[in-house]
């Protein structure tokens, strides 16, 4: 801080010919313990302190003027507007004085007294104390963080490195602090980008020369609008990335294996060219807002249906009399080959009852394709043709032996739709021919817990109290 920032600009000033009474009146008027004495050009020629005035009065000399009483300019210590306050404090202490004029080209523009300077230095000391305390607290916090923390200055030299960063990088702070980092200087480094544009970069993946992958957050350190450095936090996600890669590889292998079960590439191509849509359902209007277009949604829907079927097989549902696993799988693979979808875009709000084809129609079309071109058994054809019909809407000649499988296909198809289009969570509990389904779904019509008897078709929608119990059992 400079003298001009804390000086008093209300100047107690008298001319050189002022007498003791005028000097005293000026002191009282300005509530000051001194007056500055100036010449006709307004320049400082001396200073009269309260002590100087009292001494002059005590000596009872007549005709005294400011020039006779004052301490002359040659003996005064003055400050300038840009003099640091710390320097003023040092001078006041060393010279054991309480006042110091501030001048510009020898013209007084203000003054500093000891109380002003003491107030500033006390506040500064308190601030320094608080900053030191905060600094220590910040250091403790940073050192206890599991994320790596690195501070880089504008010359790309590492200034801080916490223990987590040491452990993750394999280098000690002693070896890195003070050294310029070529990695941070690299043209594609997020630290360099932040250093150059002053904008933070979050969730940026960075791979080092040893193959480790880090997720980084990079924030500029600003001082008066200038980037002085960058603070980077990072965590090692190498294992997560490896697991993700392995999962993708496994998924690709499963999809290749699934593709082998398809009769030919045309079925695969048809399923992959049928989009599905993720959306948000508005219960008040009945409208949906498209949030994502799943280009190969038809294919993903069938894959999810087979996954659900595999889970149900583990629950023993495929061992029920009236459920033939091969027939069920064939029906699931082909059940949507005749499906036609509208072309929708993200952000579009539509009435699903108007834009999507009635489910029964594409089921009939799929069945005709399977029967005509793929010569599938009639049981498979019938299951596909009527998988969107309710029991009460089935024709009288529908084979009764297919009813358990038809009900099971409806359940699998619905759950797969929830998984594909709404990232639903599902769970099951099997008890003989009764299957309890728990579905957490963004659509209120399908966010439910229901028990279905595959033999009788009887459905029981659970109450809230029963749902809590069912959730615990179905998800275990």
The domain in which residue 114 lies consists of 3-120
**pLDDT in the model for residue 472:** 42
- Kindly list the distances between the CA atom of residue 278 and the CA atoms of 102, 224, 316, 416, 442, in Å, as whole numbers in the listed order: 73, 47, 31, 13, 10
C-alpha span between 100 and 7 (Å, rounded) = 10
pLDDT digits (tens, 9 = 90+) for 296-331: 999 889 988 988 898 898 888 999 999 999 999 999
- Residue 354 pLDDT > 70: yes
What is the average pLDDT value for the chain, to the nearest integer? Answer: 85
469 and 332, same domain (yes or no): yes
Question: Is 152 within 8 Å of 158 (Cβ atoms)?
Answer: yes
**pLDDT in the model for residue 466:** 47
Q: Residue 2 gets which letter from DSSP?
A: B
405 and 300, same domain (yes or no): yes
Stronger pLDDT, 93 or 272, i.e. the higher one: 272
C-alpha of 45 from chain center: 64
Q: What is the mean pLDDT of residues 417-429?
A: 84
Stronger pLDDT, 284 or 1, i.e. the higher one: 284
Domain boundary among 104, 120, 136: 120
- Residue 194 pLDDT > 90: yes
Question: Is 19 within 8 Å of 56 (Cβ atoms)?
Answer: no
Coil/strand/helix, residue 149: strand
Q: Residue 14 gets which letter from DSSP?
A: E
Domain presence at residue 250: no
pLDDT digits (tens, 9 = 90+) for 115-135: 777 777 767 656 655 555 555
pLDDT digits (tens, 9 = 90+) for 251-282: 666 566 555 556 667 777 888 899 999 988 88
Question: Is 303 within 8 Å of 417 (Cβ atoms)?
Answer: no
pLDDT band at 361, cuts 50/70/90?
Answer: very high
pLDDT band at 245, cuts 50/70/90?
Answer: confident
pLDDT digits (tens, 9 = 90+) for 6-31: 888 888 999 999 888 888 888 888 88
226 and 353, same domain (yes or no): no
- Kindly list the distances between the CA atom of residue 250 and the CA atoms of 245, 253, 300, 464, in Å, as whole numbers in the listed order: 9, 5, 15, 38
- Lowest mean per-residue pLDDT among 95-99, 172-176, 336-340, 465-469: 465-469
Q: What is the mean pLDDT of residues 364-382?
A: 94
Q: Which two structure tokens, joined as six digits, stand for 421?
A: 């289009």
104 and 157, same domain (yes or no): no
- Residue 174 pLDDT > 70: yes
pLDDT digits (tens, 9 = 90+) for 155-167: 999 988 888 888 8
Domain presence at residue 273: yes
Domain boundary among 102, 120, 138: 120
Q: Tokens 């023993």 belong to which residue?
A: 316
Domain presence at residue 243: no
- Residue 94 pLDDT > 60: yes
Domain presence at residue 249: no
Stronger pLDDT, 248 or 106, i.e. the higher one: 106
Domain presence at residue 251: no
Question: Is 390 within 8 Å of 309 (Cβ atoms)?
Answer: no
**pLDDT in the model for residue 260:** 53
Reported pTM = 0.48
**pLDDT in the model for residue 177:** 86
C-alpha span between 304 and 422 (Å, rounded) = 12
Domain presence at residue 370: yes
Q: What is the mean pLDDT of residues 445-463?
A: 85
- Which residues are bridge partners to 430 per DSSP? 435
- Residue 103 pLDDT > 90: yes
Stronger pLDDT, 167 or 463, i.e. the higher one: 167
7 and 100, same domain (yes or no): yes
CATH number of the domain that 388 lies in? 1.10.3210
**pLDDT in the model for residue 146:** 77
Q: How many CB atoms lie within 10 A of CB 18?
A: 22
Stronger pLDDT, 96 or 127, i.e. the higher one: 96
Closest CA to 292 of 367, 216, 361, 344: 344
**pLDDT in the model for residue 114:** 74
Handedness of CA 401, 407, 410, 411 (dihedral sign): negative
101 and 171, same domain (yes or no): no
94 and 154, same domain (yes or no): no
Domain boundary among 236, 255, 275: 236
C-alpha span between 156 and 151 (Å, rounded) = 9
Residues 6+ apart with CB under 8 A from 135: none
CATH number of the domain that 84 lies in? 3.10.580.10
Domain presence at residue 137: no
**pLDDT in the model for residue 263:** 60
Q: Tokens 């804390």 belong to which residue?
A: 6
Stronger pLDDT, 33 or 226, i.e. the higher one: 226
226 and 272, same domain (yes or no): no
- Sort residue 224 into left (φ over 0), alpha (ψ -120 to 50) or beta: left
106 and 191, same domain (yes or no): no
pLDDT band at 468, cuts 50/70/90?
Answer: very low
Q: Which two structure tokens, joined as six digits, stand for 305?
A: 């249906």
Q: State percent of the chain over pLDDT 70.
A: 87
H helices present in 292-377, as ranges:
297-314, 325-334, 352-355, 359-373
- Residue 470 pLDDT > 50: no
Stronger pLDDT, 147 or 61, i.e. the higher one: 147
105 and 39, same domain (yes or no): yes
Domain presence at residue 153: yes
Q: Tokens 């998800």 belong to which residue?
A: 475
**pLDDT in the model for residue 108:** 93
CATH number of the domain that 158 lies in? 3.30.450.20
Q: Reading across the β-sheet that carries 288-294, which strands appear in turn?
A: 276-281, 288-294, 349-350
Question: Is 100 within 8 Å of 111 (Cβ atoms)?
Answer: yes
Stronger pLDDT, 442 or 70, i.e. the higher one: 70
Instruction: Give me the number of domains the chain comprises.
Output: 3
- Residue 168 pLDDT > 90: no
310 and 444, same domain (yes or no): yes
- Which residues are bridge partners to 440 per DSSP? 425
189 and 332, same domain (yes or no): no
């Amino acid at each position: 801080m400079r003298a001009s920032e804390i000086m008093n600009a209300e100047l107690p000033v008298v001319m050189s010919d002022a007498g003791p009474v005028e000097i005293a009146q000026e002191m009282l008027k300005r509530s000051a313990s001194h007056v500055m004495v100036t010449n006709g050009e307004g320049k400082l020629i001396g200073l009269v302190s309260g002590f100087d005035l009292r001494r002059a009065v005590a000596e009872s000399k007549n005709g005294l003027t400011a020039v006779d009483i004052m301490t002359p300019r040659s003996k005064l210590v003055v400050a300038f507007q840009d003099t640091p306050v710390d320097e003023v404090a040092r001078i006041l202490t060393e010279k054991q004085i309480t006042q110091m004029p501030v001048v510009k080209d020898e013209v007084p523009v203000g003054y500093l007294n000891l109380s002003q300077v003491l107030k500033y230095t006390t506040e500064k000391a308190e601030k320094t104390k608080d900053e030191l305390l905060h600094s220590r607290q910040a250091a403790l916090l940073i050192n206890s963080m599991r994320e790596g923390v690195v501070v880089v200055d504008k010359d790309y030299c590492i200034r801080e490195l916490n223990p987590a960063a040491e452990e993750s990088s394999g280098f000690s702070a002693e070896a890195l602090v003070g050294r310029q980092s070529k990695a941070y200087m690299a043209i594609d480094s997020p630290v360099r980008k932040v250093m150059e544009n002053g904008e933070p970069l979050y969730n940026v993946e960075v791979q080092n020369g040893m193959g480790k992958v880090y997720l980084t957050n990079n924030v500029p350190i600003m001082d008066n609008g200038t980037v002085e450095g960058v603070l980077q936090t990072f965590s090692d996600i190498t294992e997560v990335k490896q697991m993700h890669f392995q999962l993708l590889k496994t998924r690709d292998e499963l999809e290749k294996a699934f593709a082998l079960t398809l009769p030919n590439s045309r079925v695969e191509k048809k399923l992959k060219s049928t989009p599905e849509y993720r959306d948000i359902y508005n219960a008040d209007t009945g409208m949906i807002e498209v949030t994502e277009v799943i280009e190969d949604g038809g294919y993903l829907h069938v894959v999810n249906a087979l996954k659900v079927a595999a889970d149900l097989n583990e629950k023993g549902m495929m061992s029920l009399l009236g459920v033939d696993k091969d027939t069920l799988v064939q029906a699931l693979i082909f059940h949507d080959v005749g499906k036609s979808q509208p072309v929708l875009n993200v952000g579009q709000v539509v009435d699903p009852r108007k834009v999507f084809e009635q489910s029964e129609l594409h089921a009939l079309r799929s069945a005709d394709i399977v029967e005509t071109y793929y010569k599938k058994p009639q049981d498979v054809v019938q299951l596909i043709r009527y998988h969107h019909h309710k029991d009460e809407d089935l024709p009288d000649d529908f084979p009764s032996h297919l009813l358990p499988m038809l009900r099971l296909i409806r359940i699998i198809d619905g759950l797969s739709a929830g998984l594909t289009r709404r990232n639903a969570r599902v769970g099951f509990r099997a008890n003989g021919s009764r299957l309890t389904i728990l579905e957490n779904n963004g659509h209120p019509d399908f966010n439910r817990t229901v028990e279905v008897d595959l033999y009788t078709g009887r459905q029981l929608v659970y109450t809230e109290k029963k749902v809590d119990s069912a959730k615990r059992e179905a998800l275990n």
